[in-house]
Structure 1
Amino acid sequence: MPDHRRRAPSPRAHWVLLASALAAVAVLLALHLLVDAGPRADETMPAGAAVTVPDGVRAGGAVIDARGGQVVLPRPRDKTLALTFDDGPDPGWTPRVLDALDAHHVHATFFVTGARAARYPGLIREILARGHEIGNHTATHSDLRADGELRTKLELRGTDLALAGAAGISTSLVRPPYSATPRALDDPAWAAVRGLGADGRLVVLSDVDTEDWRRPGVDRIVANATPASGRGAVLLMHDAGGDRSETVAALDRLVPELSGAGWRFDTVTGATGISGATGEADTVTRVGGWALVAAVGAGGVLAAVLRWLLIAAGVLAVLRTILVLVTTAVHVRRGGARRLPPVREPVTVIVPAYNEEAGIEATIRSILASDHHPVWVIVVDDGSTDGTAEVVERLSFRRVRLIRQRNAGKPAALNAGLAAARTELVVMVDGDTVLEPGTVRAVIRPFADPAVGAVSGNAKVGNRGGLLGRWQHIEYVIGFNLDRRMYDVLECMPTVPGAVGAFRRSAVLALGGVGEDTLAEDTDLTMALEQDGWRVVYEQGARAWTEAPATLGQLWKQRYRWCYGTLQAVWKHRRAIVRRGAAGRLGRRGIPYLLLFQVVLPMLAPFVDLAALFGVFTGDWPIALAYWAVFQVMQLIPGVIAFRLDREPLGPLAALPLQQFVYRQLMYLVVIQSVMTAVAGARLPWHKLHRTGQNTLPRPVGPTRSA
């Protein structure tokens, strides 16, 4: 068809943008999944063999300085407790712990995870502002005993970045998750401690574990926290990882009781006298930290937005189903009550043909077999390079006229047919389409109403064998059929399909013929007629069997052209939204519906599906499952009704669930690429589909004897 030579830029380049957008969304959601998982209970793990652990370390204190060649074990001063909290910060419990510490005028060290620090940077700044100390508890609460050297560096570096981005600080204090007292150190744990020391880290274990993560009760936590002797110790508690109400209540008892007994509370560095453990982060780390914190924040916003999109998509699916079903019921009642007089005018069927050798004979024979008389056929060969024209000439039917022209595109072929026609009513049929005997009679019946300028027929898939054919059959019956009923009731039909549609010749000629400036000439022509004040209606009984694309590549090309052409037509007729009459109904009903459900939602659908998938992994699987179930029901109910109305067997609907995983995603990507192409100003060529000639009617059709 038309040879659009202006290519700027190539449409394939838009896949880079699409892939980048999806990758960015996936990364942000992965970050959100990482930080939203929350810390697990910081229980200690069973100790293994301790052959390589020095006896002095196992019998020493909780602070292990292995940064030099010699291991140093600084202890808190006697009658001094280094109060520490793990797994935070937590937006619910960390502020309550801070308030309790402020109430008793004591300070502590908070060992935070990088994921939580990046998620709640304000809490990091608040901890520091209240005079407390920050330590590194790895990025994802990972067990460093089982991690390799690379994983360990990533875990620690991730937290370094988060702290630098949140508060501009760096710290050498590290508490390995799942650690216990020095006596519980085994060989893997000691290897991890030595590795941390070599990396310039100061390891802080615990001398006293309150076991508050078990939530044993306030009395038990207080008892566990009370030292057995007067030696200084590192005390382990938690400000995140679950309900910490018992921890907060225990603080209000523990601090006054021990303070009354002569104990003082301090941070790890304050209790041990260590200096230089915390400082300002360098510029590079700060910049990286800001980027990390910003990305985590964006991931949280994106997750929230997509969560609402899941809900909105479900609501819209329900509303669309209700609208379509209600208007379908109205259309069925109107059809039964409408008694139009028969139209006996002669009809010309125009068949634009470009390389349709495989199916053109079946198309012509089916037209001539019509039970409406007389029917004339004009075949416009648009510069075919195969034997299309020769097939038509060989048939030598009296009421068939062949027009040859140089390749100029489908609109030009239709205009050539309109110029040659001598009847007021014309039917336009694609060269791969087969009509039933009653199709012509049915499609011209609405012209008994002088206000009708065009009639949409009922296009059906003829080659529905195989999974791809079955999916397209489902789409045609459900989407095309029910949507056209709705458009008919609301008087805002956006498209009379090229496969089968009837027109008043004078109305089309008054517009200057079929427009040639879009790739969806059928949509453009339909909207132009409504802009000119004509009604466009749908006739279910005008069935035409068309050959659907046989491969995914062919399907992509067809739908890409359809979608891009529809966007062109919508933009061309955008002023209909402010007009009155038929044009206003198109502009304020048809076009918004078209854009919302065929452009906007498909653009968002891959991201919504991605959010649903992440919902399964983040524990929101009930919402994701509910969304999926609603979507399936909203597809199945209209499907059953549409198939019943079209008197189709319900068997193909068994392929509907699988269609959502493959076919629907393909259609979404087609819409996305079409929009990107339109925004970029690229121009698509006309994609000619390869015809196989496998399109057949449910029963044989041949020409009548008079043909």
Structure 2
Amino acid sequence: MTTPTSSRGRRRAPTRIERAAGRAAALQRPRVILALLLLLALTCVLLLDGYLRAEVGGDQRVRTGASSADVPDRILNGGPILTFRGGRATTVSVPSRTIALTFDDGPNPTWTPQVLKILRAYDVPGTFFLVGSMVSRYPDVVRTMVRQGNEVGVHTFTHVDLSYQSGARVDREIQQTQLALAGAAGITTTLFRAPYSSETDAIDDYSWPVYKKLGQDGYTSVFVDTDSDDWKRPGASKIVRWATPEGDEGASVLFHDAGGERSQTIAALPRYIEKMKAKGYTFTTISGVMEQQRATDRGTGGVPDATAGALTDEATTAGTARLQAAHRTATGTTLYEGKALVAAVAVAEWTLPVLAAGLLVVGVAVMGRFAMMVVLARRHHRQRNRRRFGWGPPVTRPVSVIVPAYNEKECIAGTLASLARSTHPIEILVIDDGSTDGTSEIARAAAESLGMPNVRVIRQDNAGKPAALNNGVRNATHDLVVMMDGDTVFEPDAVRQLVQPFADPAVGAVAGNAKVGNRGTLIGAWQHIEYVMGFNLDRRMYDLLRCMPTIPGAIGAFRREAVLAAGGMSDDTLAEDTDITIALHRAGWRVVYQEHARAWTEAPGSLRQLWSQRYRWSYGTMQALWKHRGSLTDKGPSGRFGRVGMPLVVLFQIVTPVFAPLIDVFTVYSMIFVDLRAALLAWLAVLAVQLLCAAYAFRLDREKYRYLLMMPLQQLAYRQMMYLVLIHSCVTALTGGRLRWQKLKRTGEVGAPAGAG
């Protein structure tokens, strides 16, 4: 906060309100940061979840027909296991009458446990090539898999074809999967199988560099020489037949435990195991095949029992160690980063269903609100504009107009000039709340030049807007008082229209129709749409339901006795207008909306000022609702606001707007990770509904439709800011913050209604 200077350039001490504003701004910065961090965290969770849910398709190559000129023939014609020991590429074949049973694309919470149950029942180990994103989502399945003695390998993190990816992407896919394995089961692995791979003769010049690089990093790449093609779902009998090697040949056999509906695989697997055991085959893991090869190379001729002790719960026997030789115990940073990844994914997996349920509730509430507003606004308009409608005998007695002013030198003359044209007899009380810019002198000069003897200027020490309004009420001569802001311009007939409902003795206060005067700018046009649709359409609805929550500070009328009986305008909250309105409801008075009483106000001209104003409104409304929470238990007519108004305001002005960003967040999420076209059409459908509601509101207020052209941009930019303001207000309320009223900078450009356009 800069140090103020006097007109002569000397430094002066900041005023009390300036000091309070500075303290308030300093206190709010951490809360703004917290609100933004919450939004950022939500975005990160959704991005993580979307990344994890990358689609896993069938095992077909993305491209075919590529050259294999750079791949050695011994590799193309070799066995299904590719190693680079000593830097030289070597393949290993599966010994005769031996099956290395491999599974791709898991784990899956439905199919993988069924596969594991079958393997355990038949005392058969398997080698599972796991997708890292699935590992991080279902770590319990992986832990069970490893504990049973099965072997695991890397199948990339997002099931992407690495042949056409950058080196950095290849490293990331492998490392992220290793982290997921470390977090899920406390291990890493040296086995790798590329998505969309098949036999070694399919290695081409695109994929060969990837295998060489991974081989240099210590990975063993595993292919297949017998494919069950179970992903085609041809039926269990064909799956068994296609997975059976010719004669007594050994084979690395491919099945799938995820990546689609696998009921046929589950049906075929027991039949296949029984068939192969009957033919004298044994089952082992890829490491078991490597162990047999090493034994043969040593010349011992020994072939270890591939299934002996393979499935003990603790997996500690020598046989199991050989079957899981590719596993490495995760330690240090890898282990902790892996656990952090799994924990983050667990949060994302829990958050998304909750957010989806919230989205459903918000969507229903938003659509319900639109429908209710349109139906009730139409009824309100027809009721109040029919020929025979009337509040009672015309109200012609004089009215006191109270104008609280703090440093309103730009606007006060225009405000008084508009009141000079009033068609209703009035007295005007300008309450100067300690202005330092000559507001009082300008007001007196304007009254004199306009020939307005009915203007009284009352100065007081700076005490805030509620105190200024109370001062005006105490000094008012008449029993009806109209309250307005110092930057507001009334239409000539505004006061007369505003006080007519007081012909009904049950009416204690009347809300007028506030219009944005400076709508020539983009921000002003957005606020114009908001005022017509969001505020005035709402007021029609609340009027019919007899639970009007707020009389706008820009234009409202009250019975003086009702205000005094309620204790006057309170400074307990930042929304004194909402506070007094609810207090009048609880006192048994009726509060109505008079659409024909129009006033033009200067809306904030910058995003910073807009944020400040709406933050004060949102936070003040929450304060007022909390202050009057006792209305929920009020009985009789005075309890109508608590029974109807309080729930509607909380739902439509706090809960729904706070969660409304879910609609936009999920739209973006769906566009990126689900279905771009469907998500875009859904968003356009919601926008169309809002446009129709806005167009109807504009028709009722006889406004020009051209401003609705800016509504799509308003939904993309302006509305997001309003969401952040409300979230900021909620954070402040939850953390026990407190703000003082702050003065907005005015330009005085709202000079006359005719200029509003």
Q: Same fold (TM over 0.5)?
A: yes
Quick check: 1:351 aligned with 2:403?
A: yes
Q: Secondary structure at the match of 2:283?
A: strand
Between the aligned partners of 2:60 and 2:568, the Cα distance in structure 1 is 79
The offset of 1:558, in angstroms, is 1.4
After TM superposition, list the pairs within 5 Å mapping 1:203-282 onto structure 2: 203-215=221-233, 221-222=239-240, 224-228=242-246, 230-251=248-269, 254-273=272-291, 275=322, 276-282=325-331
Q: Secondary structure at the match of 2:561?
A: helix
The offset of 1:303, in angstroms, is 1.7
**1:578/1:224 CA distance change after superposition, 3 Å:** same
Between the aligned partners of 1:448 and 1:190, the Cα distance in structure 2 is 90
| Conservation of the 8 A alpha-carbon contact between 2:526 and 2:710 | yes
| Conservation of the 8 A alpha-carbon contact between 2:124 and 2:284 | yes
The one of the two structures with greater contact order (alpha-carbon pairs below 8 A, sep at least 6) is: 1
Between the aligned partners of 1:640 and 1:30, the Cα distance in structure 2 is 36
Q: Secondary structure at the match of 2:597?
A: strand
Q: Which residue number in structure 2 is paired with residue 315 of structure 1?
A: 364
Q: Which residue number in structure 1 is paired with residue 414 of structure 2?
A: 362
The percentage of counterpart residues that share the same residue type is 49
| Conservation of the 8 A alpha-carbon contact between 1:317 and 1:631 | no
After TM superposition, list the pairs within 5 Å mapping 1:276-675 onto structure 2: 276-282=325-331, 284-335=333-384, 336=386, 337-373=389-425, 375-395=426-446, 396=448, 397-620=452-675, 624-625=679-680, 627-629=682-684, 631-675=686-730
Amino acid at match of 2:141: L
Between the aligned partners of 2:721 and 2:111, the Cα distance in structure 1 is 46
**1:679/1:260 CA distance change after superposition, 3 Å:** closer
| Conservation of the 8 A alpha-carbon contact between 2:391 and 2:500 | no
Segment drifting more, 51-60 vs 305-314: 51-60
Q: Which residue number in structure 1 is paired with residue 303 of structure 2?
A: none
Q: Secondary structure at the match of 2:162?
A: coil
Quick check: 1:10 aligned with 2:27?
A: yes
| Conservation of the 8 A alpha-carbon contact between 1:66 and 1:197 | yes
**1:342/1:113 CA distance change after superposition, 3 Å:** same
Q: Secondary structure at the match of 1:234?
A: strand
Between the aligned partners of 1:366 and 1:493, the Cα distance in structure 2 is 27
Q: Which residue number in structure 1 is paired with residue 732 of structure 2?
A: 677
Residues 517-541 of structure 1 show CA distances to partners (whole Å, capped at 9, x for unaligned) of: 3221211222222233322221112
Between the aligned partners of 1:461 and 1:174, the Cα distance in structure 2 is 65
Amino acid at match of 1:594: V
Segment drifting more, 573-582 vs 252-261: 252-261
1:25 corresponds to which of 29, 39, 42: 42
Amino acid at match of 2:191: L
The offset of 1:508, in angstroms, is 1.8
2:109 corresponds to which of 88, 91, 101: 91
Segment drifting more, 597-606 vs 45-54: 45-54
Amino acid at match of 1:185: I
Amino acid at match of 1:553: R
Between the aligned partners of 2:737 and 2:714, the Cα distance in structure 1 is 30
Segment drifting more, 565-574 vs 674-683: 674-683
| Conservation of the 8 A alpha-carbon contact between 1:310 and 1:627 | no
Between the aligned partners of 2:151 and 2:55, the Cα distance in structure 1 is 21
Amino acid at match of 1:209: D
Q: Secondary structure at the match of 1:580?
A: coil
The offset of 1:459, in angstroms, is 0.9
| Conservation of the 8 A alpha-carbon contact between 2:183 and 2:337 | yes
| Conservation of the 8 A alpha-carbon contact between 2:151 and 2:326 | no
Q: Which residue number in structure 1 is paired with residue 315 of structure 2?
A: none
Between the aligned partners of 2:155 and 2:490, the Cα distance in structure 1 is 73
Q: Which residue number in structure 2 is paired with residue 113 of structure 1?
A: 131
**1:385/1:479 CA distance change after superposition, 3 Å:** same
The offset of 1:248, in angstroms, is 4.2
| Conservation of the 8 A alpha-carbon contact between 1:303 and 1:611 | no
Between the aligned partners of 2:91 and 2:185, the Cα distance in structure 1 is 29
| Conservation of the 8 A alpha-carbon contact between 2:489 and 2:753 | no
Between the aligned partners of 1:67 and 1:32, the Cα distance in structure 2 is 38
Amino acid at match of 1:300: E
Amino acid at match of 1:17: L
1:160 corresponds to which of 170, 178, 193: 178
| Conservation of the 8 A alpha-carbon contact between 2:432 and 2:459 | yes
Q: Which residue number in structure 2 is paired with residue 197 of structure 1?
A: 215
**1:208/1:150 CA distance change after superposition, 3 Å:** same
Between the aligned partners of 2:333 and 2:713, the Cα distance in structure 1 is 49
Residues 226-247 of structure 1 show CA distances to partners (whole Å, capped at 9, x for unaligned) of: 3345342212232222343454
The offset of 1:131, in angstroms, is 4.3
Amino acid at match of 1:476: Y
Segment drifting more, 244-253 vs 421-430: 244-253
| Conservation of the 8 A alpha-carbon contact between 2:365 and 2:656 | no
Amino acid at match of 1:240: A
**1:700/1:659 CA distance change after superposition, 3 Å:** closer
Between the aligned partners of 1:531 and 1:251, the Cα distance in structure 2 is 73
Segments of 5+ residues of structure 2 without an aligned counterpart are 1-15, 293-321
| Conservation of the 8 A alpha-carbon contact between 2:407 and 2:435 | yes
| Conservation of the 8 A alpha-carbon contact between 1:113 and 1:140 | yes
Q: Which residue number in structure 1 is paired with residue 8 of structure 2?
A: none
| Conservation of the 8 A alpha-carbon contact between 2:513 and 2:599 | yes
Segments of 5+ residues of structure 1 without an aligned counterpart are 702-707
| Conservation of the 8 A alpha-carbon contact between 2:376 and 2:544 | yes
Residues 234-273 of structure 1 show CA distances to partners (whole Å, capped at 9, x for unaligned) of: 1223222234345445545544444443333332223442
Segment drifting more, 94-103 vs 573-582: 94-103
Q: Secondary structure at the match of 1:492?
A: coil
Between the aligned partners of 1:633 and 1:312, the Cα distance in structure 2 is 20
Segment drifting more, 654-663 vs 226-235: 226-235
Segment drifting more, 655-664 vs 202-211: 202-211
The offset of 1:516, in angstroms, is 2.0
The offset of 1:292, in angstroms, is 1.8
Between the aligned partners of 2:359 and 2:626, the Cα distance in structure 1 is 29
TM-score normalised by L of structure 2: 0.86
Between the aligned partners of 2:338 and 2:354, the Cα distance in structure 1 is 24
Amino acid at match of 1:355: N
| Conservation of the 8 A alpha-carbon contact between 1:83 and 1:108 | yes
TM-align CA RMSD: 2.8
Between the aligned partners of 2:168 and 2:492, the Cα distance in structure 1 is 74
Between the aligned partners of 2:534 and 2:202, the Cα distance in structure 1 is 67
Segment drifting more, 134-143 vs 178-187: 178-187
Residues 496-527 of structure 1 show CA distances to partners (whole Å, capped at 9, x for unaligned) of: 11101111222222333221232212112222
Q: Secondary structure at the match of 1:586?
A: helix
